[in-house]
Amino acid sequence: MRLWGVDLGELIELTLDHIYLAGVPLIVGLLLAIPLGWLAVQRKWLYGPLLAATGLMYTIPSLALFIILPGILGTQILDPLNVLVAMTVYTIALLTRTVADALQSVPDHVKQAATAMGYSPLRRLFAVDLPLGVPVIAAGMRVAAVSNVSIVSVAALVGVSQLGILFTAGFNRNAMGPILIGVVACLILATLFDAIILSVSKALTPWQTSRSGS
């Protein structure tokens, strides 16, 4: 079956690839950003340099990262790993500041009460600071997810399979249909990611009513 010059089977395959390439780095990036953000908050002297360094990573053009990484990782240019690593780098760049902000958003009296009750710094992080920081982290995750979905499509320029392939294919054939389908699919995916993060965040913070939320 074809829609505007796009084979539906191919569309599904590209969409799944896109979800994989944008989604996995989101989770890996968060897992790496948590210790980095925690470190930045724990060690005051690290705060400035760490956030500057991660912020700098965001200024590297995605196209540059996609084509330089094979040289660094020793991978083939078409290897999806390049894209996974690049997207993880961007996710870390966005989320390290978010995690630091989130940990700092926890009221001081709550932290002190937890410490006074005998939580070690690391246990307090997982038992108190992170759970209370979920709304802020979720807000950062939503930005990261939406921009990941958009950036992944640039990998079409190096030929890695995902929805961006529809852009290059359409452009080369001078056909608007595939490009439009690609754009719409990207927007739907971004909305989907956004909705998932929002509902996970809500489920993790039952104490937040919709009024005081966000």
Partner 1 sequence: MISSVFDWLSTPANWEGDRGIISQTLTHLEYSLIALVCAALIAVPMGLYIGHTGRGRVVAVSIAGGFRAIPSLGVLFIAVLLLLPRLRGELAFALPSLIVLVILAIPPILSGVYAGIAEVDPAARDAAKGMGMTGSQVLWQVEVPNALPLMFSGMRSAMLQIIATATIAAVVGLGGLGRFLIDGQATRDYDEMAGGALLVAALALLVDFVFGLVQRFVVSPGLTKTA
Closest CA to 152 of 78, 45, 54, 63: 63
Shortest distance (Å) from residue 167 CB to partner 1:
5
Give whichever of 12 and 64 is closer to partner 1, judged by the CB atom: 64
Give whichever of 128 and 141 is closer to partner 1, judged by the CB atom: 141
For residues 78 and 121, what is the distance between their CA atoms, to the nearest angstrom?
43
Query: Exposed, middle or buried: residue 33 (CB in 10 Å: 0-12, 13-18, 19+)?
Result: buried
For residues 59 and 81, what is the distance between their CA atoms, to the nearest angstrom?
21
For residues 105 and 133, what is the distance between their CA atoms, to the nearest angstrom?
7
Q: What are the residues binding partner 1 (CB under 8 A)?
A: 56, 58-65, 67-68, 71, 142-143, 146-147, 149-150, 153-154, 156-158, 163-164, 166-168, 170-171, 174, 176, 179-180, 182-183, 186-187, 190-191, 194
For residues 75 and 60, what is the distance between their CA atoms, to the nearest angstrom?
19
Give whichever of 97 and 111 is closer to partner 1, judged by the CB atom: 97
Shortest distance (Å) from residue 186 CB to partner 1:
5
Give whichever of 75 and 150 is closer to partner 1, judged by the CB atom: 150
Shortest distance (Å) from residue 39 CB to partner 1:
23
Give whichever of 60 and 81 is closer to partner 1, judged by the CB atom: 60
CB atoms within 10 A of CB 82: 24
Shortest distance (Å) from residue 95 CB to partner 1:
15
